[in-house]
Amino acid sequence: MWRICCLSSTSARTKKPGDLCGGDGAVRNDKETFWAAVVAHQKTDYVPMYSLAVANIGGQREWWENGPSGGGKDAFGVAWAGTESAGGAGVPLGNPIVLEDVTRWEERVSFPDLDAIPWRDLADAWLAGIDRERQYVNYSAYNAQFERVTHLMGFVEGLCAFTEEPEATAALLRAITDYKIAALERISHYMHPDFYTPFDDLATQRSLFISPAVYRALVLPEHRRVNDACRALGIQPILHCCGRCEALIEDFIDAGFTAWASAQPVNDIARITRDYGGRIAVIGGYDTNGVPGTMEASDAAVADEVDRCLTQYGAGTGYVFSGMRMPGARHSRDEAMAPILKAYGAYAARF
C-alpha cells in the first residue's frame, strides 16, 4: 500500500516533494509517472498529482512582469494591485493606459531591460531547497502574448485591436514574442527548467475572448515561436489557459504545447483526454471556481471533488490531477491544500 509522505507526521520530517511512500517505508518517485503522462502522452497506472512532481519558480515573483509585491507598476508601465480574491496575485488596474492606439506601439511600448535583471541571484533564491532528483522545475511566465496586449491597452481596447487593427496587433505580438524568447534564453541559462509555462488566459467560463480564427491568425504563430524556442533549449512547453477554451485544443496541439494546464471543468475534460490524450496532456480538473474551491468547503466536499476528477478524467490518457483553493488573507496555502492532499493520498494508497 502507498501513501503520500506529507500526510504522516513521522515521515513529514524526512519527506521530499514528489515522493510516494509505502507502508514499509520504501519510497517511489512520482516524476516518472508525471513524465509518462505529460511528455510521453501515455496511459499511466495511476493519475499523478502536479504539485508532487513539479516545483514552480518565476510567476508572481517576476516584478518586471507583475509589478512589486503589494502593487505598483511593472517594467512596461502597467499599474497592478494585489487582491485577496486572486489569492494575493496582482491584477492590472487598467489605468493609466500605456497604449491607446495599437498602431503606435513602437512609439509607446518600452520592454523590460532583461540585462538589468539579476538572473543568477534569482536562480539561487528560487531554486534553493528544490531537490531536482525528486521534482521537475517549471518556470511560470505570466502575461503571455494575448494577455500583455490587453494589459497595455486595457481589456476592451485590447480586444478591439485584435479585430480592428490586426496587422499592427500582429506586429506588437511579434515584438512581445521576441522579448519572451530573449527572457527564455536567460531563464534557460541560469535556471535550467524542465518545463516552461506561459500564462495566456483566452476565455471566460462561458466562451473565448477572441474567435478561433483570430487566435489562429494572430496568437498561435507567436505561441509556436516560443514553443519552438523551448524545444531548442531542451524545455517542454505547457500552456496555462483558464476558462472554456476547448474549441482551441487542436490549435494548442498545432502550436506545439506538450500540455494544457489549469483546465477547468467547464470544458469536457473527459472527452479531451479520451480523444486527444495521446497528443496533449491535460493538467487540472478541480472545480476551483465552485464550492470546492472555497475555504468554506467541507473536507467531504473536497474529497468528493478530488474523487470526481480522478474517476472521470483518469479514465483517459495523459491526465494529471491539479487542484487548489483560494486561501484569502485569513488562511495559509498549506491550510487550503491540506484536504486536497489528504483526499489524493487516499486515492494513491490504492496503488
- Pairing, β 195-198 against β 136-141: parallel
| Whole-number pLDDT of residue 88 | 65
- The answer to whether 5 touches 21, Cβ cutoff 8 Å, is yes
> How many C-beta atoms lie closer than 10 Å to residue 342's C-beta?
16
Q: Which of 101, 111, 241 is nearest to 176 (CA)?
A: 111
| Whole-number pLDDT of residue 27 | 38
Q: Phi/psi class of residue 118: alpha, beta or left (left: φ > 0; alpha: ψ in -120 to 50)?
A: beta
| Whole-number pLDDT of residue 70 | 84
CATH topology of domain 30-348: TIM Barrel (3.20.20)
Distance between CA 205 and CA 212 in Å, rounded?
Answer: 16
- The answer to whether 30 touches 45, Cβ cutoff 8 Å, is no
What's the N-to-C CA distance of the chain in angstroms?
6
| Whole-number pLDDT of residue 212 | 98
Torsion angle of the four alpha carbons 294, 298, 301, 305, in this order, in degrees rounded to the nearest 10:
50
Gyration radius of the chain over CA positions: 20
- Running along the chain, 351 residues long, what does each successive block of 10 average in pLDDT? 34 42 46 96 95 96 93 96 72 93 98 98 98 97 98 97 98 99 99 99 97 99 99 99 98 99 98 98 97 95 98 97 87 91 92 84
- The answer to whether 337 touches 325, Cβ cutoff 8 Å, is yes
Distance between CA 208 and CA 59 in Å, rounded?
Answer: 23
Those residues with Cβ within 8 angstroms of residue 13's Cβ, 6 or more apart along the chain or in another chain: none
| Whole-number pLDDT of residue 56 | 98
Domain boundaries, the chain: 30-348
Those residues with Cβ within 8 angstroms of residue 122's Cβ, 6 or more apart along the chain or in another chain: 61, 190, 191
- The answer to whether 45 touches 38, Cβ cutoff 8 Å, is no
| Whole-number pLDDT of residue 85 | 63
- Pairing, β 71-73 against β 79-82: antiparallel
Amino acid at 212: P
